[in-house]
Structure 1
């Protein structure tokens, strides 16, 4: 799938509207977007009587997922039961698609988000994990070290224990190292390249101030195709917010790091 095709998948994400969750979906789309100062995604309904606990969970997910407390997590699981993973994935879509849309528009790429029809049949988590994320993972315009630096920045900002423990094998082979990755947390004062600093500033804007994101500096260092990929990478990496929100982000190793790589299908291969 080419870059345009991956971008078009954003519209398919917007179209996801599971039966019985339309009002919740509408509510969290309003909450997530307004929390970060962006326009909400289209929704099938105008909302309804949604438990405030869902809205509060979605708001904290958008503001800073690390702020979700154990009590809040337990309460949302108790409230939603078997639907908790589906709803949290819908929150991820409501949270990240507006960010990506703002990022893409900041350097002249406008992706229509209004779906032609609503998708009542596709399971959101299945589509995200088995269609959208691998499609982004198959993109290869950006060099592996930059991709890994961007991934690790998001992992640390969202404090995903699993993501923080992983190291991309291809990036290590291409010159990535712990000494390079140690520079990420204080990149403004680091010896990282201007290209890497531009990417990190853009990542931070998408994560923390998406309503003010600018692609001007990014495009000074990256091609249009690379800039699109970096933007989508932030969303792919940001799926870790679902794991963090639900307390399912434990590392696969007790200490140290674990290597992985993205296969030709865009899915991670560990070890």
Structure 2
């Protein structure tokens, strides 16, 4: 996926609708406020008073954006009861509201501009956001190959731990293992600054991952400079999009659907040429 395709995909993502304009407006405002970043364009005026379901949504979106691991069973149950059959679609659009501002902040810090940002948005009430994000964007990013497999896997596992995705943490990508990845290497990700099995490039990437996840409004020049030093422009863009792609695990974690496929140990998988996940 080239830069133009990336911009088009992000533009289309920003235009997506959950089917409820008020909900979309609230999610975009709450996620942006939590991140201390400008919100995505709003489809309607800010509601002056929230319904009970909207109040539940606001609290859920705030926790989703701040730290998805803090969503407990009670809050999850209240959200599912309030939003019913629309819950999954709503959380997918919440993910867009949460992560596109992070991508733009990261790209700006790296000197890449804000790909896909437009002055006006033609909101799209027809396209299914679930299909657009999970069957379109996610595999498209997975097909990108500017980064080496080990770096891609190290970055994925850092995000998996940050969001405490049980499924993601249980997986190991075959191409990365073939390229030199190992449990010894992956075990050093937690305390990567003191790791001797991770390269300076890996450490620069991991600092950037942490910044996008925890402090996207304050990506320091030391972090951005490290990425520019070790990665090309094309690789830096892929790295940024990888963090967003991996961040789709927040959808599963928030809904409690992130259980591992194995009872213990790890499971082997690979990303095929179509960007699809193939389990061993």
Q: TM-score, normalised by structure 1?
A: 0.97
**Candidates 191, 201, 204, aligned match of 1:186:** 191
Q: Distance in 1 between matches of 2:272 and 2:194?
A: 34
Q: Which residue is 2:37 aligned to?
A: 38
Counterparts of 1:1-271 in structure 2 under 5 Å?
A: 1-19=1-19, 21-48=20-47, 49-50=50-51, 51-110=54-113, 111-114=115-118, 115-191=120-196, 192-214=198-220, 215-271=224-280
Deviation at 1:36, TM superposition (A): 1.2
- CA 1:42–1:116 in 2, change beyond 3 Å: closer, same or farther? closer
Q: Distance in 1 between matches of 2:7 and 2:257?
A: 28
Q: Deviations over 1:17-51 (max 9, x none)?
A: 243x1110011100001101100000211232352
Deviation at 1:52, TM superposition (A): 1.2
Q: Distance in 2 between matches of 1:244 and 1:15?
A: 24
Q: Distance in 2 between matches of 1:72 and 1:30?
A: 20
Runs of 5+ unmatched residues, structure 1:
none
Q: Distance in 1 between matches of 2:143 and 2:219?
A: 25
Runs of 5+ unmatched residues, structure 2:
none
Indicate if the aligned counterparts of 1:18 and 1:122 stay in contact, CA closer than 8 A: no
Which SS does the other structure have where 2:125 is aligned? Answer: coil
Q: Distance in 2 between matches of 1:231 and 1:257?
A: 26
Q: TM-score, normalised by structure 2?
A: 0.94
Length, aligned pairs only: 270
Which 4+ stretches in 1 moved above 4 angstroms? none
Most deviating of 42-51 and 131-140: 42-51
Which SS does the other structure have where 1:25 is aligned? Answer: helix
CA-based RMSD of the aligned residues comes to 1.1
Which SS does the other structure have where 1:269 is aligned? Answer: strand
Indicate if the aligned counterparts of 1:22 and 1:47 stay in contact, CA closer than 8 A: no
Indicate if the aligned counterparts of 1:18 and 1:121 stay in contact, CA closer than 8 A: no
Which SS does the other structure have where 2:268 is aligned? Answer: strand
